Amino acid sequence: MPSLNQTHVDTATLTQGIATAAADDASGRLEPAAPEAQTDSVTNAAATGARTLSEKVWDRHVVRTGGGQPDLLYIDLHLIHEVTSPQAFDGLRMSGRTVRRPDLTVATEDHNVPTADLHLPIADPISAKQVEVLRANCDEFDITLYPMGDPGQGIVHVIGPEQGLTLPGMTVVCGDSHTSTHGAFGALAFGIGTSEVEHVLASQTLPQARPSTMEVRVDGDAPAGVTAKDIVLAIIGRIGTGGGIGHIIEYRGSAIEALSMEGRMTVCNMSIEAGAKAGMVAPDETTFEYLAGRPHAPSGADWETAVADWRSLVTDEGAAFDRSVTIDGTSLRPHVTWGTNPAHVIPIDGAVPGPGDFNDPVEATTAQRALDYMGLTAGTRLSDVQVDTVFIGSCTNSRIEDLRAAAAVARGRTVADGVRTLVVPGSFAVKAQAEAEGLDAIFVEAGFDWREPGCSMCLAMNPDKLSPGERSASTSNRNFEGRQGRGGRTHLCSPEVAAATAIAGRFVTPDDLG
């Protein structure tokens, strides 16, 4: 939990981190970036009263402040799943506590559930037990649960928004780092650990030190073929895996405003890959249009009241951010990762860098290790790298828009020989919509494997895994060593590039397919 003191240390080291790890979008080479402008938000706010979006949402959730303790924040929505909750419920029972607001809590089974043969019991006994424990806990504490196979089931960060449970100005937490996804609605949403899950269950609040604020501005129209995924990969390449630590990022600028809600969710989802506490986009007409009529969204007169309130959730004129990063949207291209963290990323037509491109000796060692792990050498063109697996799914890119984009590439084409492809919709609602639109048939005809919803090969907790040495093009969010299976090699990319790569068998864009 960063103190004020701590924030200063972070800021001081930040510039150094950028100088060593920044990737220039235009060339794909690693070069020092200019130090970022810094201002003191406390002074700013005191002087003008102007506040940023995240400060406004924070302020309206403070239950208690001062007294030498961090702010106590009220939590509007608590999402839980089978992996990070069992020990929290155990903790509650051990201390004789209960769930304060089961009506603000919702559970789903997503991380370890299979994506095929759902009529059969879960084959892995340890996964099966974890799911059973979640069901028993939800039953005991009267929490709504969407179990495997239920029409409401899906990845926790897909079902919240699609049901209208995630609304602008809310606080949303989950024992999952990709909770940042929900920030796309102008909610303050962040991942928490299991002790904090227990804390929220018991009190519906969390003590939190106020993070710093950071603006990431992407101005200018992104060229055709550049997706939300490419925007966020470019941002992470620019600021590094620690660039957002201690900060809430607000994504702004015309390239962000032009994104659909699905696109904004993709961007906010990967905020954590830059280390950020949360990512947010100010709500606007795109947001309201998405939410109108969703099952849990307000309706009638409440809708009008809510929208009027949501319109105030913008960063005030004159409000300053602690840090500001600007990216030229017009210079962006499709991005693909080459190494073992999401900041190891280059444009798809670029060449893989080597340790000599990093100034910091530890980062250079890490880069060499990444090359060894990935079985790549510096200077290799990504277009010469062959894959054996393609995964389209995860809380980053498994929504209907992602599947439409991938299907548009797959239509009338055939997957390359020897390439295994998984298309895993984010929820049963997404799956049903896709099937109503005939996307499943397009995928199946092209040779893609159409699956049931879940986290699947994003983190290899279910049977969908890479084998040692296998190489994937994946629309997920983490290319860490072993993330998709022991010894597996992951390259992150957009659904469009993933689908095109499945057809070509190597990294290409849809345009390259001709």
Partner 1 sequence: MEPVRVHEGRAVPLDRSDVDTDQIIPSDWLKRVERTGFGKGLFSEWRDERDFVLNDERFAGATVLVAGSNFGTGSSREHAVWALMDYGFVAVVSPRFGDIFRNNSTKNGLVPVQVSEEAAARLRAAVAADPDLMVTVDVERRLLSAPAAGIEEPFPMDDATQERFLEGLDDIGITLRSTSEIDSYETERPAWLPTT
Residues 164-223 contacting partner 1, CB under 8 A:
164-165, 167, 170, 175-177, 190-196, 198-199, 202-205, 207, 209, 211
Report the nearest approach of partner 1 to the CB of residue 8 (Å).
Answer: 8
State how far the Cα of 275 lies from the Cα of 355, in Å rounded to an integer.
Answer: 22
Q: Which position among 168, 275, 353, 454 is part of the footprint of partner 1 (CB under 8 A)?
A: 275
Closest separation in Å from C-beta 194 to partner 1: 4
**Residue 195 or residue 414: which is nearer to partner 1 going by CB?**
195
Please tell me whether residue 363 binds partner 1 under the rule CB under 8 A: yes
Contact call for residue 360 and partner 1 (CB under 8 A): yes
Specify the residue, 105 or 501, whose C-beta has the smaller distance to partner 1: 105
Size (the chain), residues? 514
Look up residue 490 and give its amino acid.
Answer: T
x/- track of binding to partner 1 for residues 443-462 (CB under 8 A): ----------------xxx-
Question: Which CB atom, from 116 or from 364, has the smaller least distance to partner 1?
Answer: 364
- Which range, of 356-364, 415-423, 428-436, 499-507, touches partner 1 by CB under 8 A? 356-364
Q: Which residue lies nearer to partner 1 by CB, 26 or 42?
A: 42
Site for partner 1 in 378-437 (CB under 8 A): none
The one among 29, 93, 129, 381 contacting partner 1 by CB under 8 A = 129
Q: Which residues, 6 or more positions from 406, have their beta carbon under 8 angstroms from its beta carbon? A: 392, 423, 443, 495, 496, 498, 499
* Residue (190 or 450) nearer to partner 1, CB: 190
Report the 10 Å Cβ neighbour count for 366: 18
Assign 418 to helix, strand or coil. coil
Q: Convert residues 70-89 into a mask of x (bound to partner 1 by CB under 8 A) and - (unbound).
A: x-x-x-xx-----xx-xx--
If the CB atoms of residues 199 and 491 are measured against partner 1, the closer one turns out to be 199
CB 443 within 8 A of CB 408: no
Among 19, 50, 63, 441, binds partner 1 (CB under 8 A): 63
Beta bridge pairs of residue 352:
none
Whole-angstrom Cα Rg for the chain: 22
Instruction: Report how far residue 259's alpha carbon sits from residue 289's, in angstroms, rounded to the nearest whole number.
Output: 13
**Closer residue to partner 1, CB minimum distance, 52 or 205:** 205
**Residue type present at position 106:** V
Q: Closer to partner 1 at the Cβ: 205 or 501?
A: 205
Instruction: Report the site for partner 1 in 285-324 (rule: CB under 8 A).
Output: 296-298, 302, 305-306, 309
CB within 8 A of 44, min separation 6: which ones?
50, 319, 320
Smallest separation (angstroms) from partner 1 to the CB of 147: 15
- Distances 347 to 20, 33, 55, 136, 499 between C-alpha atoms, Å: 19, 17, 34, 47, 17
Q: Which of residues 15-54 bind partner 1 (CB under 8 A)?
A: 16-17
- Selected binder of partner 1 within 41, 52, 54, 112 (CB under 8 A): 112
Closest CB to partner 1 among residues 224, 362 = 362
Q: Whose Cβ is closer to partner 1: residue 222's or residue 367's?
A: 367
Contact 431, 149 (CB under 8 A): no
Nearer to partner 1, 359 or 383 (CB): 359
CA neighbor of 255 nearest in space, from 189, 205, 329, 313: 329
> Do 475 and 492 meet the contact criterion of CB atoms below 8 Å apart?
yes
Q: Where are the alpha helices (DSSP H) in 95-249?
A: 125-141, 156-162, 194-203, 228-239
Under rule CB under 8 A, residue 245 binds partner 1 = yes
Min. distance of Cβ 437 from partner 1 in angstroms?
28
Q: Nearer Cβ to partner 1, position 48 or 365?
A: 365
> Does residue 104 interact with partner 1 by CB under 8 A?
yes
Cβ distance 196 to 73 under 8 Å?
no
Given 24, 90, 257, 437, the residue binding partner 1 (CB under 8 A): 90
Binding flag, residue 68, partner 1 (CB under 8 A):
yes
CB of 465 to partner 1, least distance (A): 10
Strand order in the sheet with 205-208: 62-66, 69-74, 205-208
Binders of partner 1 among residues 134 to 153 (CB under 8 A) are 143-144
Residue 441 CB, nearest approach to partner 1 (Å): 33
CB of 466 to partner 1, least distance (A): 12
CB atoms within 10 A of CB 132: 12
- How many residues belong to the site for partner 1 (CB under 8 A)? 99
Residues of this chain, 468-487, that bind partner 1 according to CB under 8 A: 478, 480-483, 486
Of residues 329-348, which lie at the interface with partner 1 (CB under 8 A)? 341, 343
Q: Which of 220, 225, 242, 463 binds partner 1 (CB under 8 A)?
A: 242
Cβ-in-10-Å burial (0-12, 13-18, 19+) of 508 comes to: buried
Q: Give the nearest distance from C-beta 188 to partner 1 in angstroms.
A: 14
3-state secondary structure 104-144: HEEEECCCCCCCCCCCCCCCCHHHHHHHHHHHHHHHHHCCE
Closest distance of CB 422 from partner 1, Å: 17
Contacts of 287 (CB under 8 A, 6+ apart): 168, 184, 185, 186, 261, 281, 310
Do the beta carbons of residue 322 and residue 11 sit within 8 Å? yes
Contacts for 120 with CB less than 8 Å, ≥ 6 apart: none
- Minimum separation from the CB atom of position 196 to partner 1 (A): 7
